[in-house]
Chains A and B, each alone.
Chain A
Amino acid sequence: MGGFVDLQVAFPESLEKAESLAFHLRKLGFKAVALTVQNGGKPENLEEVKEVFSRHRVEAALRVNLSPETSGRLLKDLRRLRGLFEIIGVICCNKQVARQAAKDHRVDLLLFPPGKLRLFDRAEVELASGSEAALELPLSSLLDVSGRQRLTYFWEAARASRLALKRNIPVVLTSGAKDLYGLRAPRDLAAVGEAVYGLPSQAALASVSKVPWRILERNREKLSQDFVEVGVRLVRRNGDC
C-alpha cells in the first residue's frame, strides 16, 4: 500500500462526525488514518466507524495514546493493550516513562508534550535506536501553544528531529486533530516539517507516507493470527498441510 497517512486523529464521537471526518480526510488526500483514544479500551462503535471510513476509501486503524506517570504503569498498560490496538503512542511526561517507552519494542510512537521535548536527548535516542519506536511531532502540539512557548517548541522540535534522523530513528508528522478544523493536508504537514522543524524535503514527505505505512503494516502483521514472531509466519494450518 502507499499514499498518505495521518497517524493521530481523535476517535469521532458519533457516526455523523465520523462521516464528515472521513470525507475531509479523503478530500485532503489521505488513504489511511489512525483514530485515537486516550488511555481507554476499545470504543463500542468501532466496526461501524471503520465501515464509514471504508465507504470513503480511507483505511481506519485504531490507536491508543498512553500517558502513564510511572514506568511500572506503562508496562502494565502495554501488557493489557498491545494486542487490542494497531498503534500505541506514549506521551512521555517524565524521564522515567520516556526511557522505558524508548526501549520497549511494543511502543510505536514517542510523543512529548510542549515543554517536555528536551527529554528526547542523546540517551533517549540511543535507547530508541535499539527498538522500533519513532518520534512523533503532532501539529496540534505546535498549534496549542503560543508566544514564548511556541518559540521554544520550534527550537526543541528542530533539535529533536535532527537528533532522530542522525540515528535513523523515523520521524512521523501527524495532525493530532480533535475535529475537522485540526486536520491538515499531508503535503502541508510535510511543509511544516521542512520549513519549521528543518527536516530534509524527502524525510518530511516520508514522515506522512512511507514511515507511518511501515508502522501500520508491521503492526497489522503482528496482530494477524498467522504471526508467530518477527520473520516467522504461519503458512498453513494442520488441516491444510
Chain B
Amino acid sequence: MGTVKPRKRYLLFHVEAEKQLHEKNVKEAVFSGFQRLFGEVEAGRLGIRWVGFKPEERWGILLCSQEAVVKVRAALALLTSLEGGKARFSTVRVSGTLKSLREFLRERKP
C-alpha cells in the first residue's frame, strides 16, 4: 500500500523594510522566526523550504505543506525587524504551483 503524498503550497511574500535587504539575512530571519514561534520540533514538522528571494523587488517564495500554511503566515506576520531596521512581511498569494506564482508576478509588473 502506498502512502499519500502531502499536498504542498508555495507562499509568495513581500517585505517592506527600512534598510536594504540581502537574501541570506532575510532567510535567516524567516527561519529563526519559525523556530522562535513554534520551537525546533514543530518548525521542523512544517516542512518549510526556501525557494528564493529577489532583494530588488523584495518578493520571496517559500514552500510548505498545505496544513502548515496558516502557521507559516502567522510566523511571517510576527516578524518585525530586518538588518537592524523595521520591517513588515505580508503573504501575498498562496498557490499549488510555482508557475502560477511566477505568472502572477509577471502580471503585476508594469
Contact = CB atoms under 8 A, between A and B. Distances in A.
Interface of A: 24, 28, 139, 142-143, 179-185, 187-189, 191-192, 194-196, 201
B90 A185 contact: yes
Nearest to B75: A195
B67 to A, nearest CB: 11
A187 to B, nearest CB: 7
Contacts of B16: 24, 180-181
Contacts of B77: 139, 184-185, 188-189, 191-192
Interface stretch (B2-10, B21-29, B80-88, B96-104): B80-88
B86 A181 contact: yes
Interface in B45-78: 70-71, 73-78
Question: What's the dominant secondary structure at chain B's contact region?
Answer: mixed
Contact of B91 (A182, A187, A201): A187
A187 B73 contact: yes
B18 interface: yes
Contacts of B37: 196
Interface string B9-42: 0000000101000000000000000000100000
Contact of A183 (B70, B74, B88): B88
B80 A191 contact: no
What's the dominant secondary structure at chain A's contact region? helix
A182 B79 CA distance: 10
A9 to B, nearest CB: 13
A180 B90 CA distance: 12
Contacts of B91: 185, 187-188, 191
Given A181-B87, A185-B90, A185-B91, A194 B78 contact: no
Given A143-B80, A181-B18, A181-B80, A195 B74 contact: yes
Nearest to B74: A195
Nearest to A144: B80
Contacts of B90: 28, 184-185, 188
A46 B18 CA distance: 28
Closest CB pairs A-B (n = 7): A191-B73, A195-B74, A188-B77, A181-B86, A185-B90, A191-B74, A192-B74
B18 to A, nearest CB: 7
Contacts of B80: 143, 181
Contacts of A28: 90
A174 to B, nearest CB: 13
Nearest to B81: A181
6 contacts: A142-B78, A181-B86, A181-B88, A185-B91, A191-B73, A195-B73
Contacts of B88: 180-184
Nearest to B69: A191
B70 A194 contact: yes
Interface-centre pick from B74, B76, B77, B91 (highest chain A CB count, 10 A): B77
Contacts of A196: 37, 74, 78
A192 to B, nearest CB: 5
A195 B34 CA distance: 12
> Which of B37, B71, B90, B92 has most chain A Cβ within 10 Å?
B90
Contacts of A183: 88
A183 to B, nearest CB: 6
